[in-house]
Amino acid sequence: RGLALLGLACLLQHGRCAAPARTLSPKSGGRRAKKGRSAMSESGEDVLLHVYDLSVGIASALSPFLLGKQVGGIWHTGVVVYGKEYYFGHGINIEAAGETPFGRPHEVINLGKTHIPEELVQDLLADLSTSFTPESYSLLYHNCNHFSNEFCTFLVGKGIPEHIVGLPEEVLNSPFGQLLQPVLMQMEQHLGNVGSGNFDPAAARPSPAQEPAYQPRSHSPPPMSPPSPPPQRGGGGGGAVFCKNV
């Protein structure tokens, strides 16, 4: 059984990121026409989860014998909204829907509709990019499925299926899970470098217009106008007039 486990490890290592032998055709795949940012439909925008099996079907076939339980696949996910697919690897990546390096998805799950405008979606991704960095990728604790789960929670108020997010822990807790750790580490090194991290948070969130430079107030007193001449009194001599109480 140990040799068979190592054989599975080798197959997983060579089969990852290949197009799956059996796929379920996406119900709404293909490139979708881009909508204007202000043209938000009242009916909402579909949020799709593209699910890929990195084991190319091997995990489903051999997991009952090697792990003592059925594992449907080694899952990678991407989130599709507004005609684009977002996934986490070497940072946050953005591709046309269904045109990622992982080939055609094994399954497409419709998670519901979002009424959040596209510009706010870009703002959220800019925030997520500060924590989902290339250096932070971990196959067990901070992977593509954790990104999809957090992103979808914002979009539709719920995460992705638990069996996808919890797969690494499920495998490690199996009788032979610890023997898979060297293979998982190799997969982590590979998957953490997938994509170019082409999502640009600076472009998604343009900087505000520059404010005018601060100018301190002047404390010097305002210039004084010259005194006006005294009014001229009518009458004779032009001298000063004194009043005396009697």
DSSP 203: H
User: Of the residues 76, 106, 146, 152, which is catalytic?
Assistant: 76
Q: Which of 158, 99, 85, 91 lies closest to 126 in space, CA to CA?
A: 91
- Beta-bridge partners for 155: none
Could you count the other beta carbons within 10 Å of the beta carbon of residue 120? 13
Distance from C-alpha of 89 to C-alpha of 147, rounded to nearest angstrom: 10
For residues 18 and 61, is the Cβ–Cβ distance under 8 A?
no
Distance from C-alpha of 185 to C-alpha of 72, rounded to nearest angstrom: 20
User: Of the residues 106, 144, 146, 152, which is catalytic?
Assistant: 144
Look up 144 and say whether it is catalytic.
yes
Catalytic residues: 76, 144
